[in-house]
A and B are shown apart, each in its own frame.
Chain A
Amino acid sequence: MTSPLLSVSDLRVSFQTDAGVARAVDGVSFTVSAGETVGIVGESGCGKTLTALSLLRLIPSGGKLAPSSRVEFEGADMLSIPERELRAVRGRRMAMIFQEPMTALNPVLTVGDQVAEVVRVHTKRSRSEAWALAVAMLARVGIPDAAARAAQYPHELSGGMRQRVMIAMALVLEPALVIADEPTTALDVTIQAQILELLRELRERIGMAVLLITHDLGVVAEMASRVLVMYAGEVVEEAPVESLFAQPIHPYTEGLLAAVPSLALASQTTQERLRTIPGTVPPPTAWPSGCRFRDRCEHAWERCATDAPALVQVQPAHRVRCHLVQEPERRRT
């Protein structure tokens, strides 16, 4: 088997805060193969966005990477290569689609300029060639009358159109990997489906890999082939999408799946209430000892408080961080 496109190992990012050291990302490892779509799921504050930003070495100021962290992409160590080489990767080989198309676009530059800029920065194409390419890309992401739209400013476009511009900006140079950080969260439901459909279509045509960051399991089910579930800065479960949905093992994953409303549920005559996971994510300055989920876990016993579970393999592609793997009889039904 060839080496994966992206290989992340023991990624740790911490922040010094007034309340102590916040270990926002704490030992995350995973790989993404060429052309593959991997989803990272978790509640806000679990470290998924920071993980994504770290891949492009875009850690917010104050964030500290642990020396053991490795992010290897196309054979280069993203965390240690010189700025110059890093810039050559950003936007060209690895691109990012941000969550808020409203604020992630520069309000005083035309959308065409903002797409063309990527071309201009990374290639030797002339201004007019870059513009032509930008217009073509805007048309490709489904913006009607792209030539005229390219000369407009972000505030003149709708939210869905803006997100299409973001996608055009990320994909104009056909990168090998696209990180999509909550690409549909800020959009109306009807627009969400369109954007997902567009991403799927472009993924097939360009053959790129996608790292999809989301809190929405529905989006993951539609897009990803493999899923990482993150909780409190750690990966707690990793599995192919089918087995994750069919047989989740970690109680947190179970909770997430149970918290998704479904039409089947709604149509039942016995109105079963939508389940929620009690409690909230603990602050990153004070992760609980042992298992970080134990305070919210219905199965937790003494061992969970003293002994931090390791990520163990249960099936060839299925890994879980839970003591229930060794002691399944502790599971309460």
Chain B
Amino acid sequence: MLSRPKRAHSSRVVARLLQSLFVVWAAATAAFVLMRLAPGDPYTTRIDVPANERAQWSAQRGFDQPIPVQYVKWLRNLAVGDFGQSSYFKRPVLDVLRDVLPRTLLLMSLALTASVLLGMAIGAWQGTRVGTTGDSLLSTGSLLAYSVPEFWLGILLVQLFAQSLGWLPASGMVSTEYEYLPLSARIVDRLRHLVLPLTALTLLGTSLFARFQRSSMRDAWNEPFVQTARAKGLTERGVRWHAWRTALVPVVTMFGLMFPSLLGGAVFVESIFSWPGMGHTAVLAVNARDYNLAVAAVIVGSVMTVSGSLLADVLQRAVDPRTAA
């Protein structure tokens, strides 16, 4: 009886991984085709160069060949880990990714951590006090933060804290004089640049997690086992823990699904704050028709999406014994 679910489990894992791989491949293929169907090529913007020279560059890179031919070549290179050359940065795509991806991951992981912790704390607090003034105020606040577009929120923050008040830098990761600063000032400078983009992303993420945690906590709070816990003589804190432990299940799922959507949010937030990360680079690459880089950005995004949903599965199994088979 014990061995059978296990075998089913491992075959399910293999199936999930294959499925994930397929999703990444499909997204990359779609990006590849769409990029090439879009008007122009990587050299269209170089109006300083004569047209025949640009055509020659294009031909050198093979961009004049039919799309299927290009596709097969690109796929063959990709299979050995070669993402090609970035036409915009004039460097290998992998090098560009190595530079920009950590910057986004820094912003994202901080924002995600802060969002999860704050959102769960706020939502769990609300869930046991549904209908009170505090709960209504927080619900209104989170609905507001949730419905505001992130780019608008970003612009608002820049207007207020960077332009009107002048407290914080409006853009970039570091100041221009960064190289000449002592170590302590460098750290402060980096943190100051982090505040606004992080706030924009965190406000959004927090409102989302808070709304989720509130509703799951409210549901758990009305379950009979909460009364059982109280009848056992637990403190209110202990009783809340009982409810929260079951209310965690949907939030954990949300965590995995939020993974890629924060990347999506980062595309806007990075553009507004000129944060030289993945999102910012992806926008640049598309605008510059940097085929290889744009497709690589889509691959990164889809890998994050599928690993997010895999992570959600793993976490859910960890916190909910009913789904762990």
B225 and A58 contact, CB distance less than 8 A: no
Partner of A118, one of B232, B235, B242: B232
B322 and A90 contact, CB distance less than 8 A: no
CA distance A110 to B246 in the complex (A): 13
Please give, as numbers and ranges, the residues of chain A lying within 8 Å of B238 by CB-CB distance: 121
Partner of A153, one of B230, B233, B319, B321: B321
Please give, as numbers and ranges, the residues of chain B lying within 8 Å of A110 by CB-CB distance: 321
B227 and A121 contact, CB distance less than 8 A: no
Please give, as numbers and ranges, the residues of chain A lying within 8 Å of B38 by CB-CB distance: none
Chain B interface helix/strand/loop/mixed: helix
Interface core residue of B224, B238, B242, B246 (most chain A CB under 10 Å) = B224
B233 and A106 contact, CB distance less than 8 A: no
CA distance A155 to B246 in the complex (A): 14
Partner of A90, one of B230, B245, B320: B230
Please give, as numbers and ranges, the residues of chain B lying within 8 Å of A121 by CB-CB distance: 232-234, 238
CA distance A256 to B228 in the complex (A): 30
Please give, as numbers and ranges, the residues of chain A lying within 8 Å of B242 by CB-CB distance: 106, 109
Bitwise, A62-105 to B at CB < 8 A (1) or not (0) is 00000000000000000000000001111110011010100111
Shortest Cβ distance from residue B215 to the other chain A in the assembled complex, whole angstroms: 18
B231 close to chain A: CB less than 8 A: yes
B233 and A88 contact, CB distance less than 8 A: yes
Shortest Cβ distance from residue B233 to the other chain A in the assembled complex, whole angstroms: 4
The verdict on A153 contacting B322 (CB below 8 Å), with A103-B224, A106-B242, A108-B249 known, is yes
The verdict on A169 contacting B232 (CB below 8 Å), with A106-B242, A106-B245, A108-B321 known, is yes
A108 and B231 contact, CB distance less than 8 A: no
Please give, as numbers and ranges, the residues of chain B lying within 8 Å of A105 by CB-CB distance: 225, 228
Partner of A98, one of B227, B234, B246, B320: B227
The verdict on A106 contacting B225 (CB below 8 Å), with A121-B238, A153-B321, A155-B321 known, is yes
A106 and B322 contact, CB distance less than 8 A: no
A56 close to chain B: CB less than 8 A: yes
B232 and A91 contact, CB distance less than 8 A: yes
Please give, as numbers and ranges, the residues of chain A lying within 8 Å of B82 by CB-CB distance: none
The verdict on A91 contacting B233 (CB below 8 Å), with A104-B228, A105-B228, A121-B238 known, is yes
B233 and A122 contact, CB distance less than 8 A: yes
Shortest Cβ distance from residue B200 to the other chain A in the assembled complex, whole angstroms: 35
Could you tell me which residues of chain B, from 54 to 84, have a CB within 8 Å of some CB in chain A? none
Shortest Cβ distance from residue A302 to the other chain B in the assembled complex, whole angstroms: 44
A261 close to chain B: CB less than 8 A: no
CA distance A98 to B231 in the complex (A): 10
Shortest Cβ distance from residue B178 to the other chain A in the assembled complex, whole angstroms: 48
CA distance A58 to B322 in the complex (A): 29
Partner of A103, one of B225, B235, B320, B322: B225
Query: 4 tightest CB-CB pairs across the interface, nearest first?
Result: A91-B233, A90-B233, A91-B232, A153-B321
